[in-house]
Amino acid sequence: MLAQAISNLLDNAIKYTDSNGRILLEAKQQNEGVVVTISDNGPGIPADKYAIVLERFARLDAARSSSGSGLGLSLVKAVVDLHKAALSLADNKTGLIVSLVFAPANTTT
C-alpha cells in the first residue's frame, strides 16, 4: 500500500511537471521517524486548496483538462492514515512538496 501511495504521488508529479521539470524523491531518517518527500517544480496547488485535493473525487479547475478521477491524493491520505503517519503539502516556490512522516516503531524490551 505504501508503494502504491508513493507511486500515486510520483505519477501526479510526472503528470503536472513539464518535460524539462524536476521531480525529487527523498527518504530520510530523522528524529521524528522516517520522512518521505516528493517535490516538483510544476504548477503546484494553491495553499487554500490543500484540504480540498485530499478529498475523494476532488479536481481543481486547472487539472480538469487532464485525465484522472480525483482519487489519487485521497488514496494517499487513506494509506498514510492507516499507517498512522502524517501527510503534509507545501509550496515549493513553483511546484509542490508532499511529505509523509512515519513515526518510529514502538520498541519494547
Residue 79 maps to a domain: yes
From the list 6, 2, 7, 11, the residue with the least C-alpha distance to 67 is 11
* Number of independent structural domains in the chain: 1
Following DSSP, what letter does each residue of 33-67 receive, concatenated? EEEEEEEE-SS---GGGHHHHTSTT---GGGTTS-
pLDDT of residue 101: 95
Domain CATH number, residue 93: 3.30.565.10
Residue 109 maps to a domain: no
pLDDT of residue 71: 64
**With left for phi above 0 and alpha for psi between -120 and 50, is residue 34 left, alpha or beta?**
beta
- Give the pTM: 0.81
Tell me: the pLDDT tens digits for 94-109? 999 999 999 987 655 4
Residue 50 maps to a domain: yes
Residue 53 maps to a domain: yes
Tell me: the pLDDT tens digits for 19-73? 999 999 999 998 879 999 999 999 999 999 988 888 875 666 554 345 554 567 8
50-54, 73-77, 84-88: range with highest mean pLDDT? 84-88
Residue range of the domain that includes 67: 2-102
